Amino acid sequence: MTATPSPAASRGTEVRLTDLTRVYAGNVRALDGFTLHIAPGEFVALLGPSGCGKTTALRLLAGLEDADGGTIEVGGRDVTNVPTSKRDMGMVFQAYSLFPHMTARQNVEFGLQLRKQDKATRHGRAADMLDLVGLSKQADRYAHQMSGGQQQRVALARALAIEPQVLLLDEPLSALDAKVRSQLRDEIRRIQLEVGTTTLFVTHDQEEALAVADRVGVMNAGRLEQLASPAQLYKNPATPFVADFVGLTNRLHCRVAGGVAQVLGGAVPLLAGSAGDGLAIVLVRPEGVTIAPVGSGGSGGAGGAAATVVSASFLGASGKIVARLESSEGVGDLVSVQVDNTDVTAYAPGQRVLLAPRGDAALAVSAT
Amino acid sequence: MRPSGALVGVAPFFVYTTVFLLIPTIVVVVGAFADGSGRPTLDNVAALGGANSSFLPALQHSVVLSLVTALAGAVIGAVLAYAVSTARPDGLLKRFITSLCGVLAQFGGVALAFAFMATFSIQGFLTVWLNSLGLDTGSSIWLYQWDKGLMLVYLYFQIPLMLIVFLPAVEGIKPQWREATETLGGTTWTYWTKVAGPILLPSFIGATLLLFTNAFSAYATAAALISQASPIVPLQIAGTFTSEVILGQENVGKAMALAMVVVVALVMWVYAALDKRASRWLVR
Ligand SMILES: Nc1ncnc2c1ncn2[C@@H]1O[C@H](COP(=O)(O)OP(=O)(O)O)[C@@H](O)[C@H]1O
Ligand SMILES: [Mg+2]
């Protein structure tokens, strides 16, 4: 497994989590043979549904939980049994982690104070960090005098101030509102590229994971299903779980023959790992389906499957049409189609349309 | 001008404070400086400091008793509150303990005073039983002394009260603060001295002062346990209304009450000063 080296790779630390197991009371296997290798300076996002073990993996790396099995190596050193305070991890929690009786500056200086740095050094470093996160003017504010987004920036500055081996973020944006969330998300990425710290970012939001990370690890039931770049993950999902979890997909009944699925009156080439010949379900992305009004003669000429528009929505940069198939090809018979935002107005609920596959490669799974 | 709507809402509060706080205070203050027929005088106040007056020793006992039981109750109650906070939040144990403390903080003193007498007094069953075994239990006088038995009984309601008033502060402590301290390189010691300690201190001091005023003004427990002398101020005040020796001097009792008001006012002043410092970072 080779990682795309990030620009700051030379400064980062390598992390190897090998075969980690964590069993909670009641025999809950939060991690079950979890293996992840993060290259120096790399930004990896752990993505998965709630309860799949993301937080547990992060907390094991931080030393806040003990592993029941497996090893943790940071920078070539086995830290499996090293206490949290000696691991040099920068941690950003979901919310409310700032010390309420300290100002932003005092929070950022806290770790440096514990490292016995002198006052001038501490002040300088704290000022730099607050500047990095764009909060120089708020240095003397207490947590309750700042917005949620500002508090998270201070938490980030505090974590980075100690020049940690690894930066760990556990759903740091999930308590913020949508606009601040995407702003801060991009800023976290900018800052990470600037400081070059190896980073593990946990989230259940696929859009967030795909937007920030060099590579995304998709987790399911305590294991890593696939670790790949956002583009690879989207185009080449290794398992049905990944295909389903990453991006919206349409599930359509099809007939597979010779690595090609016949669906919506067209052919879809199949990805490696797909089901063999016979009946199957193919997972087609909304942008993998074309739509045309009946009688326009569009849709690649070869006809397509007849459907009725249920809704047409404008989503800013793009548009989404949802249509109900007249045949029983669809599993649950609604199909989402992504269209250009200028085309949304061409469709209205009740209108008859023809759907056809665009021909992008997709994954097919056994119909049973 | 029409009366503001906001005033209607707070009217019950003003009625309440007038009836239960303002009027009694005025009665006490006015009465403290009036003689039996209502003429102004300083005699009542002067009588408190008189040579054969037992008021000053009683005031000293009251202050020491309140201070000791407030400090001991606060420390023990705080430790218990921390222990309770680590129990499962929705657990039965926690609900049971907090309800029990609610009752004990209100009625614990009197009930325990009777239990003490039934157990340790000269006719108490423990004493009688030990005596029947030929063991001399000595005098059980300690039970009725303000700095022994009474102190012990006061702790019985001070500790539960501390637990109740301090528990919310302890539960406001976020687990992330400890974890952030650890990842930043801090130890358990660092956490308690630099994070949890300073965060809890204002609440702790506030609760301790509350315990002080609680003990200072407590009457029922002492009245249940002590019938011979009046070693503390609340018992002395009651004495001025029932005693035949100082008949016609009820207004001396009001002067004593005024002295109590002064002490409590001092405590409130300390509290307000502290609160002002902490409110820089406290969220309300
Ligand atoms: N302290 C704990 N005690 C018992 N079970 C836990 C504890 N922490 C997590 N779990 C369980 O472990 C599983 C994984 O949890 P977690 O790592 O928090 O998932 P995620 O962060 O992906 O939502 C869940 O089933 C959760 O209920
Ligand atoms: Mg989680």
Top mean-pLDDT range of A5-14, A97-106, B13-22, B129-138 = A97-106
Of A85, A100, A155, the CB nearest to B185: A85
Which residue ranges have their beta carbon within 6 Å of ligand 1? A 24-25, 28, 30, 48, 50-56
Of A63, A85, A90, A87, the C-alpha closest to A75 is A87
Highest mean predicted confidence (pLDDT) among A105-109, A277-281, B52-56, B150-154: A105-109
As a whole number of Å, the CA-based R_g of chain A is: 24
CA of B280, closest CA in chain A: separation in Å?
8
* Cα B18 to ligand 2 centroid, rounded to whole Å: 53
- Angle, vertex CA B151, rays to CA B148 and CA B156, nearest 5: 130
What pLDDT is stored for residue A2 in this prediction?
A: 41
Task: Please determine, for residue B43, whether its predicted confidence score (pLDDT) is greater than 60.
Answer: yes
Residue A141: count of CB within 10 angstroms of its CB: 17
Instruction: Give the Å distance between the CA of B129 and the centre of ligand 2.
Output: 62
For chain B, list the domains and their CATH numbers. 54-282 (1.10.3720.10)
Q: What are the pLDDT digits (tens) for B81-100?
A: 999 888 777 778 888 888 88
Residues of A in contact with B184 (CB under 8 A): 110-111, 114, 158, 162
Which numbered ligand comes closest to the C-alpha of A51? 1
Q: What is the mean pLDDT of residues A214-222?
A: 95
Distances (CA, A) of B220 to A267, B66, B157, B273: 90, 15, 12, 31
State how far the Cα of A33 lies from the Cα of B131, in Å rounded to an integer. Answer: 70
Question: A49: CA distance to ligand 2 center in Å?
Answer: 9
Residues of A within 8 A of B176 (CB-CB) are 93, 96-97
Name the residue in chain A with its Cα closest to that of B279. Answer: A101
Q: Give the pLDDT mean for A136-160.
A: 95
Q: Report which ligand 1 atom has the smallest distance to the Cα of A54.
A: 22
Instruction: Indicate which ligand has the atom closest to the C-alpha of A46.
Output: 1
Q: Would an 8 Å CB–CB cutoff place B187 in contact with chain A? A: yes
Instruction: Quote the minimal CA–CA distance from B179 to chain A in Å.
Output: 7
B248 pLDDT more than 80:
no
Distance A204 CA to ligand 2 centre (A): 8
**pLDDT for the residue A3:** 43
Q: Going from the N-terminus, what domains does chain A have, and what CATH number goes with each?
A: 7-238 (3.40.50.300), 248-366 (2.40.50.140)
Per-residue pLDDT tens digits for A205-214: 988 999 899 9
Residue identifier of the C-alpha nearest atom 3 of ligand 1 = A24
In chain A, which residue's Cα lies nearest the Cα of B178? A97
Please state the pTM of the whole predicted model: 0.81
CA dist., res. B204 & res. B195, Å (int):
14
Best residue of A56, A86, A110 to probe chain B, by most B CBs closer than 10 Å: A110
Q: Is B188 on the interface with A (CB under 8 A)?
A: no
Distances (CA, A) of A96 to A93, A134, A143, A147, B178: 8, 19, 8, 11, 12
Q: Kindly tell me if the per-residue pLDDT of A38 is higher than 80.
A: yes
**ipTM above 0.95 for this complex:** no
Bridge partners (DSSP) of residue A72 are A17
Q: Which residues contact B135 (CB under 8 A, 6 or more apart)?
A: none
Instruction: Average the pLDDT over B94-121 and give the result.
Output: 76
- C-alpha distances in Å from residue A208, one per residue of A100, A186, A213, B178: 29, 9, 9, 28
- Euclidean distance between CA atoms A323 and A332, whole angstroms: 11
Q: Which of B174, B176, B182, B184 to mutate to test the interface with A (most CBs of A within 10 A)?
A: B184
